[in-house]
Amino acid sequence: MDVTLCRAGSVTPDGVVRTPLPIRGGRIGSSLAARAYRVDLRDHLIFPALINAHDHLHVNTVPPLRKVAPFPNSYAWIAAFKAHFEEPAVVAALQVPKEHRLRHGALKNLLAGTTCVAHHDPWHAALDVTDFPVALLRDFGWSYALGWPDYGPPVQQSFAATPSHRPWMIHLAEGTDDIAQAELSQLDQLGCLASNSVLIHGVGLREQDVDRVIACGAAVVWCPTSNRNLLGRTLDPKRLHAAGRLALGSDSRVSGARDLLEEMRGVDERGELAPKHLLELVTTHAAGILGLPQRGSLAAGSRADMLIVADRGGDELRNLVGIDRRHIRAVVRDGVPRIADPDFAEWFAATGTETVAVTLDGQPKLMARALAEPALVALEPGLEYKAAINVRERERVVEAGYR
């Protein structure tokens, strides 16, 4: 179905364009179609949908570790998590079937305007279903961490098997001690530091290490909330961002932010990066680092993945940076609204998308029925069916044994 989004400002890191935005076949079109369905978005702004460069989708329902003194490195907090995973609330969370937890992690992202995610764990058949809530990074290589070889593919074999034009991801330098600071050199000695190496966290990278990362064209995924919660500090993002070698990840809720919007809001409040730079981290920079040329953009030929917000005036970027998910007017994937405010009902109907009335953090919304499975709605705090159907749907959840 051809659609034209009219009278809105289209916002990218390059600026604002105030011309109609055509959607054809799930992509941004190069020209307007004569008989397209028109959506009047006066007083609205359109942003590219966000790319989350690091998440563990299946553990977003697991209660976080209670606050303790900062750990010196990731291996210390992994050891602490072994006991945490024996707690009754954690055991109960992990009894939910993994396919539901994976879908929930995807839905968590979608609700906050993220339509593409890098899932850093073994692949699962549930990720290949055609109605999975978000797109996923595919055709990439990964290992978990240098000091945890028993989980995930072996480092050298995985790196060697990954084509040089595809990203290869590993948790690295996730700590503040000598162990973390030594890991970049260890990776280099193994022959696994190259232009397609994507290093997750990088808190222990020193100035000379950042020089090496930039010089070889590698990149870092920055997860500041997770870093602060577990390690007590995070990296300085400025040099890596300026070199185009930094993307942003939320990590899972076990240690990280609720979602990518919350992560962006925290960075902005602390003054670590300007709003324009933040938008780059979750759109153009992430797309370049992860090898996703058709995402993170509103250019012709790109996937028609976008989020729509009200234009409150002033700096257009401030209408995205600093908001939370209930303020998003609509999240669009492949040219079709997936969750939106109720006054977008006609657009849902025009695309043949059945909807369910829900509330998101108290804000009334319509959500595509295919995404509103009772098992998922029950898992996400702040997401509820509206009162008229709430009791019936929750009874289904109980009968299914998910709660």
Helix residue spans in 255-319 (DSSP H): 260-270, 275-281, 284-290
| Phi and psi torsions of 240, nearest 5° | -65, -40
Q: Which residues are within 8 A (CB) of 320 and not within 5 positions of it... i.e. 6 or more apart?
A: 11, 45, 47, 264, 275, 279, 307, 309
Return the structure tokens found at 5. Answer: 């989004």
The pLDDT tens digits along the chain (403 residues) read: 899 999 999 999 999 999 999 999 999 999 998 899 999 999 999 999 999 999 999 999 999 987 778 999 999 988 888 888 889 999 999 999 999 999 999 999 999 999 999 999 999 999 999 999 999 999 999 999 999 888 999 999 999 999 999 999 999 999 999 999 999 999 999 999 999 999 999 999 999 999 999 999 999 999 999 999 999 999 999 999 999 999 999 999 999 999 999 999 999 999 999 999 999 999 999 999 999 999 999 999 999 999 999 999 999 999 999 999 999 999 999 999 999 999 999 999 999 999 999 999 999 999 999 999 998 999 999 999 986 444 344 444 434 433 3
Return the structure tokens found at 53. Answer: 């460069």
Which pLDDT score, from 0 to 100, does residue 203 have?
98
Domains, the chain, in order of start with CATH, read 3-48+297-353 (2.30.40.10), 51-290 (3.20.20.140)
Which pLDDT score, from 0 to 100, does residue 389 have?
43
**Cβ neighbours, 10 Å, residue 22:** 21
